[in-house]
Each structure stands twice: as C-alpha cells, then as structure tokens.
Structure 1
C-alpha cells in the first residue's frame, strides 16, 4: 500500500525505535496525525530538548543536564562505595529502591567479544581513574546476570582486586514471588550460590 511521503517518513522514523515493528510504527504515525497540533509541537520540542540538553556526567557517566550530575554533587552520599552498572536506566532503578547511598559508575555497555566490544569500548578506564582516590573502599558490581554481564564483572574484579579495594557482586537468584518449578537452571544455581544463613 502506498502512503503519502510525509506519513511514510514518520513511520520510518518510528520504526527506528527499539521494539517498534512496521505495524506499531504505522499505528503511532496515524495516532500523531490525530493529535492536536499543539501536542505534536510539544512532543517534537521534547525530543529536540532531550537530545540537545542531555549529556553524560564527566565523573560517573550517568545521564544528566548538569555536569557533574546531581548524584555526584550530593555531599551526603557515601563516597567510599561505588556501584558499577551497565546503563543510566540501571542507576534510575537502583535510586527508586532508596536503599543505596553511595555513588555510581555507568559502563555504557558490557564486554562482548562476539560483538567486537572490548574493555576499551566501555567506561572501564574512567572507573580505574576514579579508584585512584583513597576514599573508595568498595566497588559493587551490578551488571546483568548474563554472559556479557558476568564476563564484564570478572574482568573488572581482576583489575581492581590487586589495589586492595573490596569488590563485591550483587546477588542473583529467584525473584520475590517466583516459583522454583518455573526457574531455569542458571537462576537456581545462582540462588544456591548466593544462599545465606538465617
């Protein structure tokens, strides 16, 4: 089916977003056509503002509109703890928990030899530079429990341990409310490894 060029272009733009296939792109494009012009302009301005005004913190790599970010600037945070995560979204998830009072370091990816991504392609050198500060006593590795996340954690751990800084890994296992019978072998294995005394 042939659409006028402006809507085809709009559908192509939506289909570049992750998880958006041709049908969803078409549905979104036609939804935009039905929106009030002011709402469309606000939407377009929000996209442009986010792209222009947001960057990454020069200290931790978190997404921010100020540099350093609000977390690195917060003097009440425990500067002896750095939690290493893969993405800015992980920082946001950790902050929602409201249990962690330390600092963060965002890697912006994981080591993945299959994809040609090595340690120099993610934010590891900046982490090592931060650790030269005598304040840091513990690094918590909070990468995802998949092959790339585990490989990245092991690599970073080997780099840091000789410095005498404590390196810990977040626990992995069964989620609250999960059933043993539906858990895969890796999840069950991690749950057994991470067991603790009651």
Structure 2
C-alpha cells in the first residue's frame, strides 16, 4: 500500500538524516502526525531558524549566531594557544570538559585522498593564515584517532613546525573502565606513547 503524498515526503525528508533508514523514518513521520500542531510548528520553526540564523565564525569556523563567535571574542581566553579540531561538535565536547581555556580552529573535515578531500578542501589554509599572528605560540592538534585524522595531524604538524610554533597532539589510548584484553594494537600503541610519570 502506498502512503499519501504528504507522509511519503515527510518519510523521505527524515531519510536524508544520517543513520535514519526507512523504518525509523516511518516511525518518526507517524510520531510527528500524532504531535500537537503547535509542537509541530515550533519544531519546524526551530529547523528553519537553525538553518537561517547560524553561520560559521570568520576566525575559527565554529558554528555561531554572531560573527566572530563568542569564544574568539572572549579576551579572557588564552590567545596564545589554538586547538585544531575536525568538527564544530568537537568544540562543544572540549568546552564541556571546562579545562581548556584557549582558542579553536575547526577544519570541517579531515584529509582523505580516497574520498577526494585534500588540504585545500578543509580549513587548513585559513589556519596557516591565522598562525601568522605572533601571539600564537602553540597549536594543539585534536583530530580524531582515525587514519584520516592522523594523516591530517601529520600534515598540519609538518606545515607548522618550520615556523617555530610548538605543535602538540592530544593523547589517545585506553578509556577509563576499558580492559586491556579488548583493546586493539593501535589503541595500545597510542596508550604507550601517551604515558606520563605518576
């Protein structure tokens, strides 16, 4: 049996979201039909407002509703340190930690030759321009511990080191509560590399 056109379009819309297949999309569409009309209108308004009112910071490329973003504008933050992350969600994760007080630079991706993504396709050129500011003394590379993330970290490190700016990489290894026996070789290797004195 074919769904009426409005619900078919709604299902198709939900299926455009990552990780949402036909069954989940159908479930969400029928859930929306059961919602109060005011709630549906508020939800739709939130979607439209997020798309229209959010932009990327002209300095760090983090998602924001003001430009430059509040982090870049905060003079209380350490202006000498920049943490390079792959995605805006990574900035949110770092900020939840409440231990880092420097600035950020969001790449919006990682180098991936297999997918046709090179350094010029992500915000590496903007990072290099930013580092011409004599105030920046350290770049912390916090890309994901994947092949693409590691390649991106190495590429950035090789670009920056000749400038004399300190380049560091966040440690990777075993999570709290993890068991050694279930860790893969790469994770164990990174855990050994990132060890520190107690």
TM bin (shorter chain)? over 0.9
The offset of 1:134, in angstroms, is 0.4
Structure-1 residue corresponding to 2:79: 79
CA–CA separation in structure 2 for the residues paired with 1:51 and 1:151: 31
Q: Deviations over 1:59-98 (max 9, x none)?
A: 0000000000000000000000000000000000000000
Structure-2 residue corresponding to 1:63: 63
Which structure 2 residues correspond to residues 112-127 of structure 1 after superposition, within 5 A? 112-127=112-127
CA–CA separation in structure 1 for the residues paired with 2:3 and 2:197: 64
Structure-1 residue corresponding to 2:34: 34
Give TM-score scaled by structure 1 length. Answer: 0.99
Structure-2 residue corresponding to 1:190: 190
Which structure 2 residues correspond to residues 1-198 of structure 1 after superposition, within 5 A? 1-198=1-198
Computed over aligned residues only, the root mean square deviation of the Cα atoms, in angstroms, reads 0.5
CA–CA separation in structure 2 for the residues paired with 1:105 and 1:46: 27
The offset of 1:182, in angstroms, is 1.1
The offset of 1:185, in angstroms, is 1.1
Secondary structure at the counterpart of residue 76 of structure 1: coil
Q: Deviations over 1:33-58 (max 9, x none)?
A: 00000000000000000000000000
- Structure 1 segments of 4+ aligned residues over 3 angstroms from their partners: none
CA–CA separation in structure 2 for the residues paired with 1:144 and 1:44: 33
Give TM-score scaled by structure 2 length. Answer: 0.99
Task: Give the length in aligned residue pairs.
Answer: 198
In structure 2, stretches of 5+ residues that fail to align are: none
The offset of 1:115, in angstroms, is 0.2
Q: Deviations over 1:136-195 (max 9, x none)?
A: 000000000010000000000000000000000000000011111111111011111111
